Amino acid sequence: MKFLKKILYAILIFFMLCCGIIFLCAMNPELSEKIADTLKLEEDRGVNASPAAGKGSSLGNDNSIYSGQAQSTVTEDIDNDTEPAPEAVEQPETQSQPTYATGPDIMTEAEGLQDMDTKEPSVPYGITAPADVAGKNGYQPIQDENTQIDDEEADRLIGEIGPGQTGDGLTFDPLFYPYYSMLDARGQHLYRQIYANANALTERFSPIEDVSVGSLRNVFAAVYNDHPELFWVDTAYSCKYRKNGQCAEINLQFNSTADNLSQEKAAFEEKAKAIIDGAGDLGSYYEKEKYVHDTLIAQVDYAASAKMNQSAYSALVNGRTVCAGYARAYQYMLQQLGIPCYYCTGYAGESHAWNIVGLEDGYYNVDTTWDDTGSGTYDYFNKTDSDYMGTHLRQELSVNLPPCNGTAYRNLEKTSDDDTEGSGTSSDGRRSLSELGIAPETALSTLEDYYNNCYQNIVRAGRGQFNFWNVVKGDNVFLDVYGAYQTEDYRQGYMESAMTEVDGSFYLVNWTIESLQDGYYLITHDVNIQ
């Protein structure tokens, strides 16, 4: 009987608590919203949970060798703004666009407003700059300064500054503006707003969409990466946000060219036009691409101290810049010539920027900064991802750009390696197994074989500093090996068991890859085990 009374009392108390909560929610709509948002958030976490970035497969559906980040798509409908739209953005002149036979399609379906990891990317193993270009970097990642404010202040700001230009009516061709296509509908709406306000020199405005601090960084990066012509927009911006993380104010930052923008635009366009006109009469896209490459590195000097060195303006007008300026100037001029050219950022011994160019048969990597040595080279001109494997690694949004696997325009120009007489290399600069004295039968044909070989070499050497090499056969095995280091699966693959065997407590592994003839890859390991 006493037990039954306890149950009845418990039910009564629970009923009274429910009634109390219902009453509080009825009297306080904001509380109801917060509870609903919390429940929805927990639901979304359960539905959209995905592996941590970099822990999944190193290969996407497009066979990219770079690790992408998990993304969650926002599907909530947003009411369209009724404000009059500015004029639509003028697309680059296409001049009968080539057909991309082997190059994959750029993402045409939105993949969502995503939170970008704002931490400094970890230094990858095996990515080093060659001695002759070491230090020629200078890319500055986007810097965001975020300040939390209370809801009352947020509401006041929104009413005071408004959305500025909404960007409604603007269109952006995914072939030329790939970062735009990486966003969902809401992200694209915010992208258009930021672009329109940057053009109108409107520094402060309220976001037209609900957007978190992390997602805003992603959208801003997309605008910045797609539009080198916005040379007055700085790489830094600030945001004021509510306690729930939603932004209430966006504050763009402009460099000194914004003070007299019409005059600075004229100077910028005059310099660019001189190069563009020189390329315009050439017959093929390749010839135009090469002409711009050669002219740019002839007219520009690398200078870490250059003013506004993250902009195309610093390269074209001032003639002094760093990798970001080279890449954005190259991007702008090829866009004007109707050639898809993307701004690509990542790691190359330091933070670095280069380009991805679309030609008739696919995409190619081009690094005009590193080609600007001495009288100029083609060492980093129209290269595949395999060619860039040991020196360049895409990061952040650039991992979503198409892989570079074109072949028709690869290594058509003489490189500095070609000056070495009697080297025994092929016409494309690759060495052979026979030249290295390696028997073909020693090449490894699976990832498991590679792990076993590494384990045996480490156990044989024991603790201390040493190096060893092995050869793998075929692109599939090579990509498996590369992916193992990007995802750190190599640790379980061979390193942990080897450390146990040699009784080691600390290790450091650096590796480099050389693409050889006939589909072979030489992998060299520098190891330190204590």
What pLDDT sits at residue 201?
97
CB 112 within 8 A of CB 184: yes
Confidence of residue 483 (pLDDT cuts 50, 70, 90): confident
Confidence of residue 417 (pLDDT cuts 50, 70, 90): low
Tell me the C-alpha to C-alpha distance, in Å, between residue 260 and each of 263, 311, 444. Answer: 6, 16, 62
| C-alpha to C-alpha distance for 236 and 127, rounded to whole angstroms | 27
Whole-number average pLDDT of the chain: 80
pLDDT at 517 over 80: yes
What pLDDT sits at residue 419?
54
**pTM, to two decimals:** 0.66
CB 479 within 8 A of CB 440: no
Q: What is the pLDDT of residues 346-389, one digit of tens each?
A: 999 899 999 999 999 999 999 999 999 887 899 999 999 888 88
Of 349, 304, 300, whose CA–CA distance to 322 is shortest?
304
Q: What is the pLDDT of residues 117-126, one digit of tens each?
A: 444 445 555 6
| C-alpha to C-alpha distance for 253 and 234, rounded to whole angstroms | 5
